[in-house]
Amino acid sequence: MEKQIFRNFTKKLAAKLLPARDPDGHKGDFGRVSITGGSVGFTGAPVLAAYGAARSGSGLVFLGVPEPIYPIVAGHCLEVMPSPLPAARGKISKDAFFPILERLNGCDAGLLGPGLGRSQDLSKLMSKILEETETPLVIDADGLYAIKDRRELLQKRAERGLLTILTPHEGEFRYLSGDLAPGREAAALDFAKEYGCILVLKGPETVTALPDGSCYVNTTGNNGMAKGGSGDVLGGMILGLLGQLVASKRSAEADTDKAQFSKAGISEAGGITALAVYLHGLAGDIACKELGEYGMLPSDLAARIPAAILEVQKNQSQHF
Ligand SMILES: NC(=O)C1=CN([C@@H]2O[C@H](COP(=O)(O)OP(=O)(O)OC[C@H]3O[C@@H](n4cnc5c(N)ncnc54)[C@H](O)[C@@H]3O)[C@@H](O)[C@H]2O)[C@@H](O)CC1
Ligand SMILES: Nc1ncnc2c1ncn2[C@@H]1O[C@H](COP(=O)(O)OP(=O)(O)O)[C@@H](O)[C@H]1O
């Protein structure tokens, strides 16, 4: 009988899953991560994602955006390292394939999609990247739209032992052909099993489903987060924590192939993903207490990720 665990994610579990930080660690030990996104009109999404990753403990965060928005994005980046990518009509163009691939291949994890925009060329470009890179990937927002008709690429990555995490809200889940009729948990699990990916179905009580049939149901968050940009912060947080997981495996076993995710590895990645969802909601709850659900912004949430992590760390010292 397959596993079907509907576990409410608690602070105690968060404390257990929060990755330990080596006191002697350097930035390379805490994950190099890459974000690809942005377009004219969507300049905030990639920056919010980048700060979601940076505030979650990433050692190095790279951000690739189309050349026309590069000066705006760079003006919002201090710790994050932005670079301009070839563009056409305000969006990343197909000529960006090699620079994106090269950057991804040098990283522990990549995020594709925040503010990317939509076009046939972008769908082809994203599909080619999914086929070519072995780096673990988080796909969000317009990245999901880009691959909606090429979902077999997810199964192919899974067959090669490559990790892919998808983060749709219910609207995005529907156009990925997800069927919500059986209920959110069952729907997320069906999709994760069919495509061999980790599926984060966002909303109140976000569900993180794993292909092995287990899933986590989140317990944090509030309606002050129902504002454009909150999801972008979450994509970055998942990326940041995933990068740390991959980097820790890389340093623990010198000969580990970062591309291969065993069953145990996927289970760990699922735990880290659910942890990111929990911390994202907790940061939102802290922002809500201070600012209220009307006025709090996704950038306020991103600024409170450190407070959320500290609250979980306090629980670590109480229980372990
Ligand atoms: N500051 C920024 O630069 C922002 C950029 N954003 C970017 O805008 C692009 C479009 O993203 P959107 O999510 O707005 O795409 P859409 O608004 O096109 O959403 C896709 C579909 O889902 C429906 N939908 C939206 N949210 C839903 C929910 N929570 N539950 C059920 N159905 C829902 C919509 O009605 C639509 O049919 C993305 O690339 C995203 O990253 C947004 O995140 C907003 C902020
Ligand atoms: N009412 C709510 N309660 C708890 N969390 C919410 C609520 N509304 C939205 N969220 C969270 O906020 C985020 C919204 O992401 P998303 O729908 O992708 O929007 P966007 O990409 O525009 O930021 C998700 O993580 C979701 O779980």
The per-residue pLDDT for range 74-90, each reduced to its tens digit, is 999 999 999 999 999 99
Q: Given the structure tokens 């987060």, which residue do they identify?
A: 225
Strand partners, 64: 36, 83
Instruction: Give the residue, out of 140, 170, 184, with the most ligand 1 atoms within 8 A of its beta carbon, to mutate for a pocket test.
Output: 170
Quote the ligand 2 centre to 64 CA distance (angstroms): 24
Partners of residue 34 on adjacent β-strands: 62, 110
Radius of gyration of the chain (CA): 18
pLDDT on residue 254: 56
Residue 141 CA to ligand 1 center (angstroms) comes to 7
Per-residue pLDDT at 270: 97
**Which residue bears the tokens 């192919």?**
156
- Report ipTM (2 d.p.): 0.95
* Residues contacting residue 9 through CB under 8 Å, at least 6 positions apart: 216, 217, 218, 219, 220, 274, 275, 277, 278
Closest C-alpha residue for ligand 2 atom 21: 231
Nearest CA to ligand 1 atom 17: 171
The amino acid occupying position 237 is M
| Contact (Cβ atoms closer than 8 angstroms) between residue 315 and residue 21 | no
231 labelled as ligand-binding?
Answer: yes
Q: Which residue has the tokens 């939509």?
A: 118
Q: Which of 232, 202, 200 is nearest to 63 (CA)?
A: 232
Q: How many angstroms separate the alpha carbon of residue 72 from the centre of ligand 1?
A: 22
b/e sequence 192-229, b meaning 16+ C-beta within 10 Å: bbbbbbbbbbbeebbbbbbbbebbbbbbbbeebbeeeb
Spatial CA neighbour of 139 closest among 195, 84, 87, 96: 195
Rounded CA separation 58/250 (Å): 15
Please give all residues whose beta carbon lies within 6 A of any atom in ligand 2, as ranges: 141, 169, 202-204, 206, 221-223, 225-226, 228-232, 234, 280
Fold topology of 6-319 = UDP-N-acetylmuramoyl-L-alanine:D-glutamate ligase (3.40.1190)
CA distance 115 to 129: 17
Extract the tokens encoding 304.
């409170």
Q: What is the pLDDT of residue 319?
A: 52
First to last CA, the chain: 33
| Tokens 């998808």, located at residue | 166
Task: Please name which of 265, 268, 275, 231 lies closest in space to residue 139, comparing C-alpha atoms.
Answer: 231
Backbone conformation region of residue 65, classed left if phi is above 0, alpha if psi is from -120 to 50, else beta: beta
Q: How many Å apart are CA 59 and CA 256, to the nearest integer? A: 20
Nearest to 207 by CA among 173, 250, 160: 173
Give the integer Cα–Cα distance in Å for 236 and 45. 10
Name residues of the chain where pLDDT drops below 50: 1
Distance separating alpha carbons of residues 277 and 231, to the nearest angstrom: 10
Q: What pLDDT score was predicted for residue 263?
A: 74
The partner residues of 109 in beta bridges, in order of sequence, read 33
pLDDT for the residue 318: 65
With beta carbons less than 8 A apart as the criterion, state whether 145 and 175 touch: yes
**Residues with beta carbon inside 6 Å of ligand 1?**
42-45, 114-116, 141-142, 169-172, 203, 228-229, 231-232
Domain ranges (residues) in the chain: 6-319
Which residues have CB under 8 Å from 232's CB, separation 6+?
44, 45, 46, 48, 49, 52, 114, 115, 140, 141, 298
Q: Which residues contact 286 (CB under 8 A, 6 or more apart)?
A: 304, 307, 308, 311
Candidate from 51, 111, 225, 279 with most ligand 2 atoms within 8 A of CB, to mutate = 225
pLDDT at 202: 98
Write down the pLDDT at residue 1.
Answer: 44
Kindly give the distance from the C-alpha atom of residue 142 to the centroid of ligand 2, in angstroms, as a whole number: 15
**Residue showing tokens 């080596």:** 22
